[in-house]
Structure 1
Amino acid sequence: MLVYLADYLSQFHSGFNVFQYLTLRAILGVLTALLLSFVVGPVMIRQLSFRQIGQQVRDDGPESHLSKAGTPTMGGALILVAIAVSTLLWADLGNRYIWVVLLVTLSFGAIGWVDDYRKIVYGNSKGLSAAAKYSWQSLAAIITGLYLYYAAQSPVETELIVPFFKDVAVPLGLWYIVLVYFVVVGSSNAVNLTDGLDGLAILPTVLIAGALAVFVYATGNVYYAKYLGIPYIREVGEVVVFCGAIVGAGLGFLWFNAYPAQVFMGDVGALALGAALGTVAVLVRQELVYFLMAGVFVMETVSVILQVASFKLTGRRIFRMAPLHHHFELKGWPEPRVIVRFWIITVILVLSGLATLKLR
C-alpha cells in the first residue's frame, strides 16, 4: 500500500525511490510487525484473560503443565494481525504471490480459530473433528496447488528442485498439486504438534522464515539465481516482505510467549504459520531444503506417527509420551532445557539449509 504512495511522491522528491528496494521494505516489514505486536499484545492478552479464553491442559500430560491451565490462548490472532497489516503496508499488492501467501495464511488461521473457539468458548475439548479440520485444510491446499499450477509462467515453477545438484530438476506435471497439498497441510499440522511448550514453535518458525527470505530474495533476482544455480522465478522476490513480517510478528509474540508464557498461540497461530512456511517453500521450489530446515517440526510429527502406529500394532509405546518434547519432559528434563535445545537444533538445521545455496 505504502509502495504506491512512495511511487507517487517520488515524482516530487527522488528520495522516495528508496522504498522501491526490497531489502528496505523487508526490514520495515519486520519492524512494523514487531511494533504492532508490542502495542497490540498487552491489550489482546488482557482481553483474552477478561473473557476467560484460557488454555485447557490434558490430564495425562506432564504434571508441570497443570499450572498452565487458564493461561490465555488464541494469541496467534496477534501474529496474524501483525503479519497481515505489515505485509499490506509494505508489499506490492499488485504481486500475485503476495496474495497467495496471505490468503493461505489467513484461511488456515480461520480454520484454527474455529477449532480453538469450539474448544474454549463452547467447552468442546475436541474442537473441530479431525475429518472437518483436514477437509478444510485439504480444500485450501488443493485450491492453492491448482492456482499455482495453472498460473505458472515457466516450467521451472512446477519442477522439483533437488538440493546439492545444479542441473537436477524433476518435472512433476499434475503431481505438483499433490506436492503442494502435502507440503502445506503437512507443515501446518507439524507446527501445530510442536506448539506444546512455551516458545518452542515460534522461534524455529522465525528462524526458518528468515532463511526462506534469503531463498526468496535470491530466487527472485535473476543475477543471484544464475550465480547460485537455483531457479529464477519472476516476481517471487516480493514475498521477502511477507517473510520479514513473519519474523517481526514471531519475535513480538515470543516476547509474551517466552517461558513462563503469558499467552499461547493456539491453533489459530500454529496452523497458519505452518501453512505460511510451507507455501513459501513451494513458491521458491525448495521443498526438500525446507524439510531439512524444519527438522524439529518433522521429528515431532514422526514421533506422533510412530507412537500411534506402534501402539496399534504391538500395544506398546515407543516414547513415554508424544509429541517428542513431552517424552523428554517425562524423562526429567526441565521445560526450558527442552525448548532451548530444540532451538539450537533448529539453528543448526537452518544453517545447513542455507549452505545448500553454495554446495551445488
Structure 2
Amino acid sequence: MRAVLIAAGISLFCGLFGTPLYIRFLVKRGYGQFIRDDGPTSHHTKRGTPTMGGVVILGSALVAYAAAHLATLRPPTASALLVLFLMTGLGIVGFLDDFIKITKQRSLGLRAGAKLAGQSVVAVAFAILATQFRSDNNLTPASYRISFIRDTGINLAFAGAGLGVVLFVIWAYVMIAATSNGVNLTDGLDGLATGASVMTFASYVLIGIWQSNQSCQIVDDVVSGGKCYDVRDPLDLAVVAACVMGACFGFLWWNASPAKIFMGDTGSLALGGALAGLAILSRTELLLVLLGGLFVLISLSVIIQVGFFKMTGKRVFRMAPLQHHFELAGWGEVTIVIRFWIIAGLFVGLGLGVFYAEWVVGL
C-alpha cells in the first residue's frame, strides 16, 4: 500500500511541476499544435499550442514506478512491466505521429500503414509476453479465458495451446486498438481525456488493492466461498495505475481550459494502451466497457456517424466525435468537458459498483 501512495505522490509532483518546464522547452522549439480547418472554428485560436504533452505523463509514470519500488525495496513484477511496456511502446508510436505533424505542419502524421504496423508490433509483443512468466503459483500475467470481473468460462485455448495463442493475440490486439483509439478520439477538448483518464485509472487503483487483499494466494478459495481473485500481481498493477493517475492529475492543471499544452497522440495512445493492459492483466477485460464508458460512447458516435453516412448519405450528428456535436450546437467548451467528466464519473461508479456487487452476491 505504501508503494501505491508513493507512486501517486511522485507522479503527481512530476506531472505538476515537470509540465511547465516541458512547455518552455516546446515553445523554444516552436513545437505547436496543427489545427484542422474542417474542425470547429473555435479551435483555430488553439493553433500553435504546445503538444506532445504525453511525454510528461509517460515520464512521470515511469519515474514514479521506479521510485516507489526503490523506496519500498520491492522488485518490479512481470505484470507491471508488461503494462509499462505497452504504454511506452504505444506512446512512442504516438510521439512519432505527433512529431511528423508538427515538423511537417500538417494534420497527417505517420502514414496509416506505418502507424498500424507500429501499434500492431507493440500489441502483439505484449500479448505473447503476457502468457509467459509463470509465478510460483503457476499464474501467468494474462489468461486465455475472456474475463469480465474475473475469468469466465470462455476459453480461447479450447482447441489447443497453439490456436489459443493466436486467438488471444487477436483478442488482445482488438482490445488495445479499441481502447487507445477511444482515448484518442476523446482527446478533442481541453482536459476532457485527461480528466476522464484520472477517474478510470483511479478505479484500477481500487480494483488492484481489493484484488490483492482478496487474492487466492493469501485467501483460501474454499474459505472465501470461491470469491478470491486469480490475478498474478494485483498490488503492483495498482501501483502502475496510481502512477498514471497521478501523472494525469498533475498534467491536468496545465491541460484544463484554456490548455497551455495538449497531450497529443503521444499521451492518448499511451493512456489507452495502459488501460487495456490493466484490464487484460487484472482479468477485468469486459468490465472496462463500463469503467471507460465515456470513451466507448465517443467511439460509438464516430462508428454510427461513419456507418450511417455510408448507408444513407446523411449524418446523425452535426460532427463526430460526440463532443464536437455539442460544440456546434452552441455549448461552451468548459460546459461540455465538465458534463462529460460527470458522465465518465458515473460510468466509473457503475463499473466499481458492479465489481463489488459480484464479490458480495456473486453476480
TM surpasses 0.5 = yes
Q: How far off is 1:322 after superposition?
A: 0.7
Partner of 2:313: 315
Do structure 1's residue 264 and structure 2's residue 242 form an aligned pair? no
- Deviation track 1:38-78 (CA, whole Å, cap 9, x = no partner) reads 22111111111121111111112112111111111111111
- Which letter maps to 2:173? Y
Q: How far off is 1:225 after superposition?
A: 9.5
- SS across alignment from 2:195: helix
Mapped to 2, the partners of 1:84 and 1:167 lie a distance apart of 29
Instruction: Pick the aligned partner of 1:169 from 128, 153, 157.
Output: 153
Mapped to 2, the partners of 1:143 and 1:130 lie a distance apart of 20
Mapped to 1, the partners of 2:24 and 2:338 lie a distance apart of 28
8 Å contact from structure 1 (residues 218, 224) kept in 2? no
How do residues 71-90 of structure 1 correspond to structure 2 at under 5 angstroms?
A: 71-90=49-68
CA pair 168-279 structure 1, distance change in 2 beyond 3 A: closer
Partner of 1:113: 95
How do residues 14-93 of structure 1 correspond to structure 2 at under 5 angstroms?
A: 23-91=1-69, 92-93=74-75
Partner of 2:189: 197
CA pair 46-94 structure 1, distance change in 2 beyond 3 A: closer
Instruction: Pick the aligned partner of 1:188 from 180, 186, 203.
Output: 180
Partner of 1:337: 335
CA pair 131-358 structure 1, distance change in 2 beyond 3 A: same
Partner of 1:158: 144
How do residues 286-301 of structure 1 correspond to structure 2 at under 5 angstroms?
A: 286-301=284-299
Q: How far off is 1:160 after superposition?
A: 2.0
Q: How far off is 1:297 after superposition?
A: 0.6
Partner of 2:161: none
Mapped to 1, the partners of 2:6 and 2:132 lie a distance apart of 33
> Which ranges of structure 2 fall in alignment gaps of 5 or more residues?
158-163, 359-363
- SS across alignment from 1:169: strand
Mapped to 2, the partners of 1:224 and 1:108 lie a distance apart of 36
Residue range with higher mean Cα deviation, 250-259 or 144-153: 144-153
Residue range with higher mean Cα deviation, 125-134 or 188-197: 125-134
8 Å contact from structure 2 (residues 231, 282) kept in 1? yes
8 Å contact from structure 2 (residues 89, 122) kept in 1? yes
- SS across alignment from 1:276: helix
- SS across alignment from 1:288: coil
Mapped to 1, the partners of 2:269 and 2:212 lie a distance apart of 27
CA pair 186-167 structure 1, distance change in 2 beyond 3 A: closer
How do residues 118-137 of structure 1 correspond to structure 2 at under 5 angstroms?
A: 118-137=100-119
Mapped to 1, the partners of 2:292 and 2:201 lie a distance apart of 10
Mapped to 2, the partners of 1:150 and 1:97 lie a distance apart of 10
Mapped to 1, the partners of 2:111 and 2:307 lie a distance apart of 20
Partner of 1:97: 79
8 Å contact from structure 1 (residues 212, 243) kept in 2? yes
Residue range with higher mean Cα deviation, 129-138 or 86-95: 86-95
- Deviation track 1:180-219 (CA, whole Å, cap 9, x = no partner) reads 1111121111101100000000111111111012222233
- Kindly tell me the number of residue pairs found equivalent between the two proteins: 336
- Deviation track 1:258-282 (CA, whole Å, cap 9, x = no partner) reads 1111110000011001100110010
CA pair 218-57 structure 1, distance change in 2 beyond 3 A: same
Residue range with higher mean Cα deviation, 107-116 or 152-161: 152-161
- Which letter maps to 1:349? F
- Which letter maps to 1:274? G
Instruction: Pick the aligned partner of 1:306 from 290, 297, 304.
Output: 304
CA RMSD in angstroms comes to 1.9
TM-score by length of 1: 0.88
> Which ranges of structure 1 fall in alignment gaps of 5 or more residues?
1-22
